[in-house]
């Protein structure tokens, strides 16, 4: 029997763990991974007993962003990142979400994790908003959530430079997240989830709604602006060349 690329399991009462494990595609946004995530969050939204979600990856991968085919489809005008609202699944989830980024968070994969209510990084892993490495401006709400979560100066550096940063380096730069050895990330996430799950579910839902309401309201405008930038930057011939070169032929 093949292993599902997204596994959903209630590991303790009220605590659901959502594990991305598309080993063939190294947790890029394959059709199977995207479908699995969206169906899983729909299931979570419909469940009246869950109180908190732990979103994580496998081994040394958290989430690796767009696939080669997906990026080329946008380059050719056949798709856009907003076709599926993957990036804000955690933000839109009514119960708190913990991003246990035990592995690499690349491009849209890192951005998706930042939309969670709690973020945990690993010291060994690479985190990058590498959109500009391909020559196109950032999408998936990156120009909004990265400055919101990391602060403007560091976010501007990450978004413009598109370089790779280890969790240990980001920790030294003063990011407001817990950064741990990879082997300790899930234990910490579970303990945090237990603390959250002690609270009444209704109170958790109401408080999260209040706290993230401004983000949900402002995000749609930012996404429109990112799409407008994509119209100017994504369809360049150089972008296609970079996608092909960076992914390999």
Confirm whether 104 is a catalytic residue: no
Q: How far is CA 12 from CA 117, 130, 194, 201, in A?
A: 20, 36, 8, 15
Rounded CA gap, 91 and 212, in Å? 7
**Beta carbons within 8 Å of 118's beta carbon, 6+ residues apart:** 96, 97, 98, 99, 189, 192
Identified catalytic residue from 104, 210, 230, 235: 230
Rounded CA gap, 8 and 16, in Å? 7
Crossing angle (nearest 10°) for helices 237-247 and 68-75: 170
The kind and range of the H/E element at 85 are: none
Q: What is the DSSP string of 167-181?
A: HHHHHHTT-SSEEE-
**Beta carbons within 8 Å of 238's beta carbon, 6+ residues apart:** 135
- Tokens 């729909």 correspond to 42
- Tokens 């401006």 correspond to 137
Rounded CA gap, 179 and 51, in Å? 24
Active site residues: 230
């Amino acid at each position: 029997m093949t292993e599902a690329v997204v596994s959903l399991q209630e590991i303790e009462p009220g605590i659901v763990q959502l594990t991305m494990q598309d080993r063939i595609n190294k947790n890029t946004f394959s059709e199977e991974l995207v479908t699995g995530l969206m169906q899983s969050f729909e299931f979570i939204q419909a469940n009246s007993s869950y109180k908190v979600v732990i979103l994580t990856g496998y081994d040394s991968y958290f989430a690796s962003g767009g696939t080669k085919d997906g990026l080329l489809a946008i380059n050719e005008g056949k798709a856009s990142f907003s076709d599926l609202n993957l990036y804000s699944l955690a933000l839109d989830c009514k119960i708190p979400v913990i991003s246990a980024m035990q592995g690499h968070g690349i491009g849209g994969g890192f951005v998706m994790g930042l939309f969670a209510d709690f973020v945990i990084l690993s010291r060994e892993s690479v985190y990058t908003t590498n959109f500009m490495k391909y020559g196109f401006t950032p999408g998936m709400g990156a120009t909004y959530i990265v400055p919101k979560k990391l602060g403007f100066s560091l976010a501007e550096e990450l978004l413009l430079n598109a370089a790779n940063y280890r969790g240990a380096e980001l920790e030294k730069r003063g990011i407001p997240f817990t950064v741990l050895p990879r082997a300790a990330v899930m234990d910490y996430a579970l303990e945090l989830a237990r603390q959250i799950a002690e609270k009444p579910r209704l109170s958790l839902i109401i408080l999260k709604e209040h706290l993230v309401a401004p983000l949900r309201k402002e995000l749609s405008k930012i996404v429109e602006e990112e799409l407008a930038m994509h119209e100017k930057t994504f369809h360049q011939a150089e972008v296609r060349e970079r996608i092909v070169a960076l992914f390999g032929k």
